[in-house]
Chain A
Amino acid sequence: MIKDITIGQYFPGDSFIHKLDARAKLIVVFLALVEIFLCKNFLSLALIVIFAIVSVAISKISFKVVFKGMKMIYFIIVLTSVLQIFYNDEGTVLLDWWKLKITTGGIFTAIFMAIRIICLILVSSLLTYTTSPTTLTDGISRLLSPLNKIKVPVDTLAMMMTIALRFIPTLIEEIDKIMNAQKARGADLDSGNLVQRAKALVPIFIPLFVNSFRRAYELAFAMECRCYNGNNKRTRMKQMKFSWRDVVAFGIIAVMLAGIILLNHFFGAVI
């Protein structure tokens, strides 16, 4: 199950979106997320939906993968939209039972919310699907580099993030191994109530932690051997350059912003 999580995974490719500069991509995605929250009616939301779907299509990542990645979040989507039904009591009343009242307004908000969350996840997961973690952290650290002036150790933080991302698959593999080892010794991990199951996890996490410390120690040695000391002036093999693609992306996001404002203004708000 743990291996099904595709959010945050990277799918190498050479599409338009893959080739965008990481910094540009970060800013564009951030703006797109802002725009998703700016939408006030279904027409402006439709614009976002089209944007999201076209982006996924251009990235050549299969929709199957994208939606499989969302599997874990369906529950949140359903829960949030169901709650929305009861928050809005405008419009025609469809059902009035005890203290619960379902109205057309409520239904619309619920649908609106669900689409909005799906778009949020689509757009943001597209960022990690199309950018290698190292490039992504590199992009973040370059965007944040002005913070160096106020003594925020941006490069060190970026290195920490890279290492964290690098060790996720290694640790997943290790958890798997430890679980099998404990099962082989008769550990019962799959039955009992919640408390019993939580307790059963202790013998998995203790070796995991101990091993992680050992790994960290060895990694530090290896990094020192390769002349890393956290404050030297590092260069990068891959230079980041803005290209025409980034201009196009910024153009699209700007036009969308204008479109959303206009549609919000002329067609009234659902929310």
Chain B
Amino acid sequence: MNNESLIRFCDVSYRYESDNETPLPLAIKNINIDIKKGEFVAILGHNGSGKSTLAKLSNAIILPESGNVFVEGMDTADEKLEYDIRQKVGVVFQNPDNQIVATIVEEDVAFGPENLGIEPAEIRQRVDDALKSVGMYEYRLHEPHKLSGGQKQRVAIAGVMAMQTDCIVLDEPTAMLDPKGREEVMKSMLRLNKEMGKTVVLITHYMDEAVKADRVIVMNSGNVVLDGTPREVFSHEEIIENAGLELPDSSKLALKLKKNGVNLPDGILTPDEFIEAFKFSLSGGASH
């Protein structure tokens, strides 16, 4: 990981248009976030915290009311750079049904590169690579509507991959999926980040997903309230709860046990960590 900035939000505010005279409150308030190349960032927040707005701001789908968003130094407000920006940052949305354009999996994945005017042979190569990287290659000739939710979402991710963007922003990609589909998508995201070096920004409200990120940002009513490693962020129980979120299950359980006198260390995040610590506490740790 290096320190080069990929997406930079500088003092960004955004307000959705209102249907009537009274303007809506700001969805995003003077936000400063710097996302570095190669990071896996999870953005957490409950409904209406402004986290999805960040996704749309990140590749010039919407423009900030004040402040600037820079993608590799390019200002998203510059219309001429729109294309270059979208080739750097791809976005995957919540509902896979509403982002698949074609009737055959591989043709959908080819949609992005086709728009970029890339040579057919090169598109073929990119489509095959993208489908393999999300484990959907054997489904390339299937019809999208016959796939499961997790598979559809992986096709959508492949569609962004085929454009060879440096960064993928996923806006609650697992919200409409069953646990199995969620796991599939999560695996693909981790693979993109760890093996292929892509920057991944995962917007979610599942704690268990956020725990796997390098960095967690917590949003509450348009503000960034926490920003740090999962361990740092989840040690602030009160702020997390004020943001309308809950700690990961393992952390919650560990905290409760600790309050009742069980000897456990701080900062337990995953089930595996919990089991290790609990075993230790049962065997030797507790008797001393």
Contacts and interface: CB of A to CB of B under 8 A. Distances in A.
A225 B59 contact: yes
B102 A222 contact: no
Q: How large is the interface on B (under 10, 10 to 19, 20 to 34, 35 or more residues)?
A: 35 or more
A166 B120 contact: no
Contacts, number: 102
Contact of A215 (B56, B97, B113, B118): B97
B53 to A, nearest CB: 13
A4 B1 CA distance: 55
A237 B83 CA distance: 20
Contacts of B106: 237
Contacts of B93: 218, 221-222
Contact of A226 (B90, B120, B123): B90
A218 B95 contact: yes
Nearest to A9: B143
Contacts of A224: 61, 86
B83 A227 contact: yes
Contacts of A163: 101
Among A10, A166, A218, chain B packs the most CB atoms within 10 A around the CB of: A166
Interface in A155-195: 162-163, 165-166, 169-170, 173
Interface in B78-121: 83, 86-87, 90-91, 93, 95, 97-104, 106-107, 110-120
B101 A227 contact: no
A94 B272 CA distance: 89
B151 to A, nearest CB: 15
A134 interface: yes
B160 interface: yes
Interface string A226-255: 111100111111110000000000000000
Contacts of A169: 143, 145
A222 B92 CA distance: 8
B141 interface: yes
Contact of A235 (B95, B103, B107, B118): B118
A239 B145 contact: no
Given A218-B95, A232-B117, A226 B159 contact: yes
A236 B114 contact: yes
Contacts of B97: 170, 215
Contacts of B247: none
B155 to A, nearest CB: 12
